[in-house]
Amino acid sequence: MKVAPLSAALGVEVTDVQLADLAGASLDALKRQVFENGVAVIRDQQLSPDQHIAFAKRWGGIDVNPFFPTNSGWPEIAEVRKAEEQKDNIGGGWHTDHSFDSVPAMGSILVARELPPSGGDTLFSSMGAAYDALSDGLKATLAGLSAVHTADHIYQPGGYYSHTDLADEMTGQELSTRAVHPVVIRHPVTGRKLLYVNGAFTTHFEGWTREESLPLLGYLYSVASREEFQCRIEWRPGSVAIWDNRATWHLAQNDYHGHRRVMHRITLTGDPLAA
């Protein structure tokens, strides 16, 4: 296994490894790379859907997102698609997946299936670096705060994703998603303190109004999205990305209009978050 950094803040590129066969100490080594660096892109893979699922099960449990269309015959795999005629994409704003769940997903294993001729890169940002950049006074304030997360405005009929490939999945769904998490969490493996809010799903601080919350949330988002805290994954055929949802944000760039993009995603079960 060869490892090279993607940026100074986070991310590694891994080569000379085959995920279809990875297990035991080699799998533990890859997990450590993801936990310590936030995201890993593994090149030159030829994972079938069955191998994708088998590898995810060796990693841990699988969460099935009820809002995404599944790959026919493999319900564990969500298809993240954008058709040629669509303008809006899925994941086009900074976020971390499933923060609206009481036990958010650990992360995801994303396999490139159909790529546009260019564009469609995925950006990641380090929530450890974002927390470290805050003043001691703000860290002390955030230590006593929790925040409310929901996805109702995203997935409900007429919501943000109503013009994407998820529109059919959203029809007629009655949503009530809500979770409360500490604003600062500690990574369960590395122990690093992490900022845990995001613009897609965090609505307000618990006990505060939304109006009171927005100025501070906006400042936190501006810090968390600083370019020096980011890395970029340029997708190529055979690329697989694995990321830690607790330690990163991600954003799928929407710069390939007129072309189709299909990714297969398996979401990995997480652990309760601790302040």
pLDDT > 80? residue 86: yes
Give a yes or no: residue 80 inside a domain. yes
Asked which of 164-168, 211-215, 250-254 is least confident by mean pLDDT, the reply is: 164-168
Give a yes or no: residue 94 inside a domain. yes
pLDDT band at 152 (very low <50, low <70, confident <90, very high): confident
Asked which of 88-92, 132-136, 187-191 is least confident by mean pLDDT, the reply is: 88-92
Mean pLDDT value across residues 230-256: 97
| Predicted model pTM | 0.90
Higher pLDDT, 171 or 224: 224
86: CB partners within 8 A, 6+ apart: 163, 164, 165
Query: Which of the residues 52, 192, 246, 250 is marked catalytic?
Result: 250
> How many angstroms separate the CA atoms of 152 and 173, rounded?
10
> How many angstroms separate the CA atoms of 217 and 209, rounded?
12
Contact 215, 59 (CB under 8 A): no
The Cα angle at residue 111 between residues 108 and 71, in degrees rounded to 5: 90
**Parallel, antiparallel, or unpaired for β 122-126 and 230-233?**
antiparallel
Mean pLDDT, rounded, of the chain: 91
Query: Which of the residues 97, 101, 165, 244 is marked catalytic?
Result: 97
Give a yes or no: residue 189 inside a domain. yes
What's the confidence (pLDDT) of residue 58?
97
The question of whether 265 is a catalytic residue gets the answer yes
Range of the domain at 7: 2-268
247: CB partners within 8 A, 6+ apart: 10, 35, 38, 126, 127, 128, 187, 192, 194
- Indicate the residue type of 167: A
pLDDT band at 164 (very low <50, low <70, confident <90, very high): very low
pLDDT band at 166 (very low <50, low <70, confident <90, very high): very low
Mean pLDDT value across residues 213-235: 98
Give a yes or no: residue 274 inside a domain. no
Domain total for the chain? 1
Query: Which of the residues 95, 98, 181, 264 is marked catalytic?
Result: 95
- CATH of residue 250's domain is 3.60.130.10
> How many angstroms separate the CA atoms of 100 and 141, rounded?
23
What's the confidence (pLDDT) of residue 154?
64
pLDDT band at 172 (very low <50, low <70, confident <90, very high): very low
Mean pLDDT value across residues 25-38: 98
Query: Which of the residues 81, 149, 204, 265 is marked catalytic?
Result: 265
The question of whether 97 is a catalytic residue gets the answer yes
pLDDT > 80? residue 124: yes
**Parallel, antiparallel, or unpaired for β 12-15 and 39-42?**
parallel
pLDDT > 70? residue 165: no
